[in-house]
Chains A and B, each alone.
Chain A
Amino acid sequence: MRSPRIAALAAILLLASPLAACSSGPAPASTTIGIGVDLPLSGADASVGTSTLDGIKLAVARANAKGVPGGFTFAVQALDDTQQGVHNPQQGASNVRTLIADDSVLAIIGPYNSNVAAAEIPITNQAGIVQISPSAVSDGLTLGKDAAMLRRANPGVNTFFRVCTTDSRQGSAAARFALDLKLKRVYIVDDNETYGLDLANVFARDFTKLGGTVLGRDHIAPDTQDFKALLLKIKGYKPDFIFFGGTTSTGGGLLRRQMFDVGMGKLAFMGGDGIPDIAEVAKKRADGTYYTVAAPNADLLPAAKRFVAAYKAKFGSDVGPYSANAYAATQVAISAIEQAIEANGKKMPTRAEVLAKIPRNAKNEVLTPIGPISFDKNGDVRKPVISLYAIRNGRSSFIEQLNLSE
């Protein structure tokens, strides 16, 4: 009675052993390399998240069409970090763990939001996998003590990069833009989140330094619906404009909209790259809004024009505010992976080998629609550019740009 069972057990062991050997070996049979993505793809951030993902898809499709060394193909593995309609740090962290658990994923693009990035960086740092964000701009993600805390699992190694700029660069550019527009007296409101508060802090500091007047500041509570009490208070200060640190979904849209309900519709409204989609909530009342984007204006770069045309042809819609950044981030990741494949004798490289090929200086810059990209030791771009846009008649129009590398 016992012998058949033992025979079966032996058979299973025999069958399993070559499989086990195979899965722990250096080069699995698979020829697919995953490009992991974590973005908010539903809820209040869905429109910016989806157009960002499309930028990634376009870069991957083009790399595959051109042919990858070693006969590999790239595949996008996108996860959504939205919970209850809003980007969620815990969900982002869990998504990144899922992506890391898949051995074929060699780089992660994302996240969109700074507070999500702060939850993810310790995990990607520990795993030693390249992570490039198209848009997370909070200073503390790459700079100073905060960044050191995020990297404490693996302090010698930086795995987090971003193709956008930082809050401090953006905030100080916004301060200069405002004064260029002859806006001198500001009331500052922020959403108390990582991104919004940082942006508002830097803007307040630099605006004062450059000679502007900060009349007052306020932070809004999450899920506030009524901003009229706050706006009535601001009205008493008679500012030239309101600066908002935050995103459309954390209150920017309703704040702008309700300005009209208390007779402040004519006042200018300015924010950072969290509010390019403000017209979706504020509709016609978005007119008179200024916002900065941490990228050169696409119309001024030939590579950008080609990108915009290709994007339109593939997806049939206009590029989103961070589509080009996402495309650039993916280009950088793909370039590093391809170099690592070549260096590894056309075989699947390790994550550390990919990390070693991330461009660090002018010599190995990657040419992208947002300009040539290489990173400094913190993971920030070496040649940042900030553009100012205004919403007029429901459309965004480019005003000016500032090159911050000089």
Chain B
Amino acid sequence: MHEFLAQLANGVELGAIYALIALGYTLVYGILELINFAHGDVYTFGSFVALGILVGLRAAGVLHGAGLILGIAAALIAAILASALLNAGIERLAYRRLRKAPRLAPLITAIGVSFMLENLIELWQGSAPVPFPNVIPNPQLHFGALEVGVQQIVVVALAIATMIALHFFVQRSKLGKAMRAVAQDRDAASLVGINVDRTIAITFLIAGALAGVAGFVGGVSFGSAWFLNGFGAGLRAFTAAVLGGIGNIAGAMLGGFLIGMLESFSTWLIGGQWSNVAVFSVLILVLVFRPSGLLGETLPEKV
């Protein structure tokens, strides 16, 4: 029981990170029907920005007491802003011109952008993994049979707060409504006066911001940043988005948590070398038996 709860908590932590990344895939897919393969690398970029800020602040000697909280907030906000701007920049430079091109063109472009980002990050940070500063004190807390680290709580709380904020933004705000309208029918949306280009740009900004949060919490949780991190994490998050039903926001969150728990439990019950097999078997099974995912509905025929 004790071990089950510990694995569950770890799966939730891992899942929270995957869910944040998966949301980025799903938001972009929802509005453009494009799998943004560069998304994983935006996550890596966010991780490195947070790492850079934290290392700088620690060198300046301000990371203690209230300075620690402010420093963590500064690193998080910097990661969010940098990733958001990068993602929007990618959309503006690489995808916008291809919006009317055949579907395959932006897809291949996305793969190209992904390789480019990986190599640029390698040039910038080198090809060795860079240790992420241990900024969050991490004593273990006991709640009955459940034992969790403070760091784990911070990671999950940040991720869930972000997801709640996203939910309210999409469902309640005017911009969120515009996003949903463009996702439903781009031409009709523009007929009722929605600025389609701007709405798509904002979607990319938000997807990038989520990747920035993921980059920060991922760095804290794994303890290192590496130029190829986004590839593996991106693939798992993509699997999560497909599992939940790509294009569906609640589905991406659910899928993320499920994939995180699957990874944790398969390591526990089958063995570490099988965790990738377990995760990607799910991708294959979902694509074969339920391509629309757990929460996705079959698309109504467009007329």
| Chain A positions near chain B (C-beta within 8 angstroms) | 42-44, 46-47, 82, 84-85, 189, 192, 218-221, 223-230, 232-233, 235-236, 249, 253-254, 257-258, 260-263, 280-283, 285
Known: A221-B276, A232-B6. A226 touches B128 (CB 8 A): no
Which of A192, A229, A285 sits near B264, CB closer than 8 Å?
A: A229
Which of A84, A85, A221, A232 sits near B10, CB closer than 8 Å?
A: A232
Query: Which residue from chain A places its CB closest to the CB of B11 in the assembled complex?
Result: A229
Known: A43-B127, A220-B272, A226-B10. A85 touches B264 (CB 8 A): no
The A interface is mostly helix, strand or loop, or mixed, namely: helix
Beyond known contacts A229-B272, A236-B2, A258-B222: 15 more, CB 8 A cutoff: A44-B128, A219-B271, A225-B224, A225-B229, A226-B221, A228-B264, A230-B272, A232-B268, A233-B3, A235-B6, A254-B129, A257-B223, A261-B221, A263-B140, A283-B131
Complex formed: what's the CA distance from A395 to B128 in Å?
21
Residues of the A chain whose Cβ atoms lie less than 8 Å from the Cβ of B14: 226, 228-229
In the assembled complex, the CB of A99 is this many whole angstroms from the nearest CB of chain B, namely 23
Interface size on B, residues (CB 8 A): 44
Complex formed: what's the CA distance from A310 to B98 in Å?
61
Listed from nearest, the 6 A-B pairs whose CB atoms lie closest are A85-B127, A43-B127, A229-B267, A229-B264, A219-B273, A263-B140
Complex formed: what's the CA distance from A235 to B138 in Å?
17
Residues of the A chain whose Cβ atoms lie less than 8 Å from the Cβ of B147: 263
Number of A-B contacts (CB under 8 A): 121
- Give 22 CB contacts A-B under 8 Å: A84-B127, A84-B228, A85-B122, A85-B127, A85-B226, A218-B273, A220-B272, A223-B232, A226-B221, A226-B263, A226-B264, A228-B264, A229-B14, A229-B263, A229-B268, A229-B275, A233-B3, A249-B128, A253-B224, A254-B223, A261-B138, A280-B128
Q: A42 contacts B275, CB within 8 Å? A: no
In the assembled complex, the CB of B47 is this many whole angstroms from the nearest CB of chain A, namely 11
Which of B2, B10, B222, B273 sits near A220, CB closer than 8 Å?
A: B273
Which of B3, B128, B129, B231 sits near A232, CB closer than 8 Å?
A: B3
Q: B272 contacts A254, CB within 8 Å? A: no
Q: B149 contacts A85, CB within 8 Å? A: no
Residues of the B chain whose Cβ atoms lie less than 8 Å from the Cβ of A254: 129, 222-224
